[in-house]
Amino acid sequence: MGDRIRARRELRGWSIRYAASRAGISHTSWSRIERGQQRTDRYMVVDLAAALECSVVELTGQPYVPADRQLDAARIDAERVWTEMMRHPLAERPVPGKAAHGAIRQETALVRDLYSRCDYSGAMHRLISLIPALHADGRRPETAEMMVPVYGVAMGCLLNVGFPAHAWFAAQQCSEAAQQLEDPAGLAVATANQARVLAYTGAYGPARVMCDRAADDIQRRLEAPSALDLLGFLHLARAHHSAGLRDIGTAEEHLTEASRIAARTGETDAWDMAWGPRNVALWQMALQLDTGRAGEAIETARTIRVTDLPAVRQVYFYMDMARAMADVGRDHDAVRMLLTGERVGPQHTRSSTSARETARSLLRRGLLGSELRGLCERMGVLN
């Protein structure tokens, strides 16, 4: 990332001091970032991109050149999934297909399971045939109910392997499917998906506005199934967006409210959210990390039973723990966390911006060893 930041700055013809002033950071910090001696958090990279007048994705360099066959296949299938979504807009009248409704439901369950295990390549490969089959199944409410999580899976897969524009279209498809339902929770899920893509690209303001409106809507219909779960999740999303806007006080307020709701609902799995106190703790940990409180994040991590989490949540946990350990100078523990995350979800770890930058910073700090170098090779990370 530092190399891309330097190339962008030099293309503009700007000095480090001038570019740093545009981003609101010191010129020494900017210089260290360019040299790979200082990592950027998810919020700082938004400021850097704004200063350089480019997109976040241009600085993170996604999609990455694949380091293994699964990620190579995922990149190819990402384009094919996007093509199928373009060919089957929800506004068109469906043409009946041959697939039985029961078979479609089974395939939907399989795709959701593959995503929960971070098998993005496997999920997208099956989405290529599932999307047209769902579209051909008609406009029945139960079909729209399946479309919401299916397009949510498409959004998550595409985003996690570095295709945010494709992911935005999947999130829009998810929203259109949700509008066919009379379920406020489904609409909230679709809104959260759209906001996730916006936040990924640094558009925290629009993302928070979107989730504010969704929370207001669902607050009026809390008697609906899973409505309270979604309200809690929207508080988590707004905490993330508020932190991205440097409104830390509001972020903490949303986390507190999410914690209160989670204590009331307990652990649930509606709409594949894995909502509950553990999820709130994961978001609390991420906020502490992104606001420079790595020590607090490590303490929060001690309260989380990792083995009880689905694989996709475990990977996020280990990626955040790697960042925290690196920030407090426990470099060997940081490598151990990265390797554990890779064992749980290799595709996610090898394509994660956070994991890649953590690994690169450890390498450039002079931490050697076959395990770290092997991981960097599998990620396609060069010193």
pLDDT score of 91: 76
Distance, in Å, from the CA atom of 346 to the CA atom of 350, rounded to the nearest integer, reads 6
> Among candidates 2, 109, 15, which has minimal Cα distance to 48?
2
Q: What does the domain layout of the chain look like in residue ranges?
A: 1-61, 63-181, 183-275, 294-383
Distances (CA, A) of 12 to 5, 16, 19, 60: 11, 11, 9, 18
pLDDT score of 99: 60
pLDDT score of 62: 65
Span 178-236, pLDDT tens digits:
998 888 999 999 999 999 999 998 899 999 999 999 999 999 999 999 999 999 999 99
Q: Vertex 8, ends 201 and 286: CA angle to 5°?
A: 35
> Among candidates 49, 52, 75, 47, which has minimal Cα distance to 60?
49
Residue with tokens 């809690």: 232
Is 120:159 a contact under the CB 8 Å cutoff?
no
pLDDT at 42 over 90: no
Distance, in Å, from the CA atom of 292 to the CA atom of 271, rounded to the nearest integer, reads 32
Span 44-96, pLDDT tens digits:
887 888 888 887 777 876 666 555 678 888 888 999 999 999 999 887 766 66
List the helix and strand counts (H, then E) for the chain: 21, 0
pLDDT score of 37: 74
For 328-342, what is the mean pLDDT?
A: 94
Class of residue 339 by CB neighbours under 10 A (exposed 0-12, middle 13-18, buried 19+): middle
pLDDT score of 281: 96
Distance, in Å, from the CA atom of 182 to the CA atom of 202, rounded to the nearest integer, reads 31
pLDDT score of 98: 60
Count of Cβ atoms closer than 10 Å to residue 83 Cβ: 13
151 vs 10: which has the higher pLDDT: 151
pLDDT score of 313: 92
Q: Vertex 76, ends 74 and 82: CA angle to 5°?
A: 95
pLDDT at 267 over 90: yes
103 vs 170: which has the higher pLDDT: 170
pLDDT score of 226: 93
pLDDT score of 380: 79
What mean pLDDT, rounded, does the chain reach? 89
Q: Mention every residue, 6+ apart, whose C-beta is less than 8 A from residue 288.
A: 294, 296, 297, 300
- Per-residue tokens: 125: 């490969």
376 vs 131: which has the higher pLDDT: 131
pLDDT at 129 over 90: yes
Span 146-166, pLDDT tens digits:
999 999 999 999 999 889 999
Is 157:115 a contact under the CB 8 Å cutoff?
yes
pLDDT at 297 over 90: yes
- pLDDT-derived band at 97, boundaries 50, 70, 90: low
pLDDT at 337 over 90: yes
- pLDDT-derived band at 251, boundaries 50, 70, 90: very high
Is 47:21 a contact under the CB 8 Å cutoff?
no
* DSSP alpha helix (H) spans, 201-274: 204-219, 227-244, 248-265
Distance, in Å, from the CA atom of 160 to the CA atom of 63, rounded to the nearest integer, reads 9
Distance, in Å, from the CA atom of 160 to the CA atom of 120, rounded to the nearest integer, reads 8
CATH number of 1-61: 1.20.1440.230, 1.50.10.10, 1.10.260.40, 1.10.3720.10?
A: 1.10.260.40
pLDDT score of 363: 85
